[in-house]
Amino acid sequence: MRIGHFWFGRQGIPTLFLNGYPVTITYLQHATKHIFGKIRNMLLENIVKEWCFFTPMYFMRIRQFVFFAILLTIAFFVFTDAADAKLPFIVRTIYFQPTNAPDVPSVKIKSLMKQTQAFYRSEMERLDYGSKTFRLETDGNGEPIIHVVQGRRPSHVYTSYQAVEPDLPNHLKNKNNIHVFFMGGMQFVKPGALGVGFPFSGGACGGIVRTATLGEGFRLSVVAHELGHAFGLYHNLKKGNFLMGHGRTELDDYEARWLDKHHYFNSIHEINAVPKIVKVHQTEHVAIRTKGVNFQEKEGVRFRIDVSSRNALHQGQILRASDTAIVGWTKGNGTTILIDVLRSDVIRDRTAYLEVMDVQGNYIIHTIQFTLPKIPQPENDVETKEKDASVSPKKKLTAIWAKLKSI
Ligand SMILES: [Zn+2]
């Protein structure tokens, strides 16, 4: 094992190079904990044995020994417990090279990764979350490290992550890191897709991105969009130039708010207990009042989910299964997640996914099977109309609103 230089990366993570491979200090702390755990057990065993054969002759030696052992144990408990459950949460760059693929296009890949990191930073800043972005694995000069992995088969075989995974070395299978695979010699990473991305959640905090290196897909917006998926962002239905929607250049506020607490965007990267779903209630009918001067009332569906969480909840969002588009979101408040979505947005879906994040950045994705609620019919529609004919349209709507709310 060759121990190389030790440095603090751009993001302030102390990194040590072993055999030229960067190992963050947290890994070393885990290893230390393991070794000293063994030593501690040995010491405890010996102390028990010594006490069993206790004699006055032994007394001084044992007392010194116990004192020393206790001190040593306390010192290492303090040292190693501080590192307990801390993980690096770093985005790694990989060039996956099938047998027929060209050599690694290093300059372009490094530039895309740096641009993607800069894109997230400028959007977080624009939306008032400060100048923060995800941690990227870089060398001592701040350049992205590219792991080159040789595929054993030609490129047309690698149309899924399941096909890629068996060819990966173990250190690139860690589900607590996000791995961005630039797929060599490929124009589409699966039929019709320039890129794909998904997160691991619910205890694991990593994700997978696979993106094309030939043609259209080898560009910033594709890498940034797929990386968004790996962070737990999903499709945005709103009009506008949204990266997670039809555009390329903007994050929406609720997306930046989600990233603000995400493990990859924070230097406090502890993993605690993830939130747990306690109960998914039957959906209810609600009237949703649209914003603006010419407000309208639209039919809505209310999702109500009880959650238990060690930390306060930060954000909940519902995405529909058909196209993984976000149809509603809410800020964390108490232990019940209430999200009202437009009925028209989920009319064709019976499956949705709920994402819940706590203020420590731990999140889960939970599948919900649901049925649409019945729409209550006004009892005496005609009478209401006649009575309301004399009042202004605004008052009329307010009356209907009040009525719907009381049902
Ligand atoms: Zn997408």
| pLDDT tens, residue order, the chain (407 aa) | 444 444 444 444 444 444 444 444 444 555 555 566 566 556 555 544 444 344 445 556 677 777 777 787 766 655 544 443 566 799 999 999 999 999 999 999 999 999 999 999 999 999 999 999 999 999 999 999 999 999 999 999 999 999 999 999 999 998 999 999 999 999 999 999 999 999 998 888 899 999 999 999 999 999 999 999 999 999 999 999 999 998 999 999 999 999 999 999 998 667 888 999 999 999 999 999 877 777 788 999 999 999 999 999 999 999 999 999 999 999 988 899 999 999 999 999 999 999 999 999 999 999 999 999 998 887 665 554 444 445 555 555 555 555 555 55
CA 322 to ligand 1 centroid distance, Å: 12
CA 405 to ligand 1 centroid distance, Å: 37
What's the pTM?
0.73
CA 261 to ligand 1 centroid distance, Å: 21
CA 225 to ligand 1 centroid distance, Å: 6
CA 258 to ligand 1 centroid distance, Å: 17
CA 323 to ligand 1 centroid distance, Å: 9
Axis crossing angle, helix 106-126 with helix 220-230, rounded to the nearest 10: 60
CA 249 to ligand 1 centroid distance, Å: 14
CA 207 to ligand 1 centroid distance, Å: 14
CA 197 to ligand 1 centroid distance, Å: 7
d(CA 96, CA 104): 9
47 token code pair: 């102390």
CA 179 to ligand 1 centroid distance, Å: 17
Residues belonging to the chain: 407
CA 129 to ligand 1 centroid distance, Å: 23
CA 97 to ligand 1 centroid distance, Å: 24
Q: Where are the domains of the chain?
A: 3-83, 91-224, 276-369, 377-407
Is residue 144 within 8 Å of residue 91, measured between CB atoms? no
Question: What is the predicted pLDDT for the residue at 291?
Answer: 76
CA 325 to ligand 1 centroid distance, Å: 9
Is residue 34 within 8 Å of residue 76, measured between CB atoms? no
CA 117 to ligand 1 centroid distance, Å: 18
Give the 3-state secondary structure of residue 352.
strand
CA 69 to ligand 1 centroid distance, Å: 56
Question: What is the predicted pLDDT for the residue at 201?
Answer: 86
Question: What is the predicted pLDDT for the residue at 8?
Answer: 44
d(CA 180, CA 222): 12
- The distance from CA 110 to its chain's CA centroid, rounded to whole angstroms, is 23
CA 324 to ligand 1 centroid distance, Å: 8
CA 398 to ligand 1 centroid distance, Å: 39
CA 193 to ligand 1 centroid distance, Å: 9
CA 345 to ligand 1 centroid distance, Å: 18
Question: What is the predicted pLDDT for the residue at 54?
Answer: 45
d(CA 33, CA 31): 5
Q: Where are the beta strands (DSSP E) in 184-296?
A: 195-199, 207-212, 235-236, 276-280, 284-289
CA 318 to ligand 1 centroid distance, Å: 16
Question: What is the predicted pLDDT for the residue at 31?
Answer: 56
CA 221 to ligand 1 centroid distance, Å: 11
Question: What is the predicted pLDDT for the residue at 295?
Answer: 78
How far, in Å, are 71, 74, 190, 207, 314 from residue 198 at the CA level? 46, 42, 14, 6, 21
CA 242 to ligand 1 centroid distance, Å: 11
- Under 8 Å CB-to-CB from 99, ≥6 apart: which residues? 150, 151, 152, 153, 154, 155
- In CATH, the architecture of 276-369 is Sandwich (2.60)
CA 235 to ligand 1 centroid distance, Å: 6
- Under 8 Å CB-to-CB from 370, ≥6 apart: which residues? 280, 283, 303, 346, 350, 351, 352
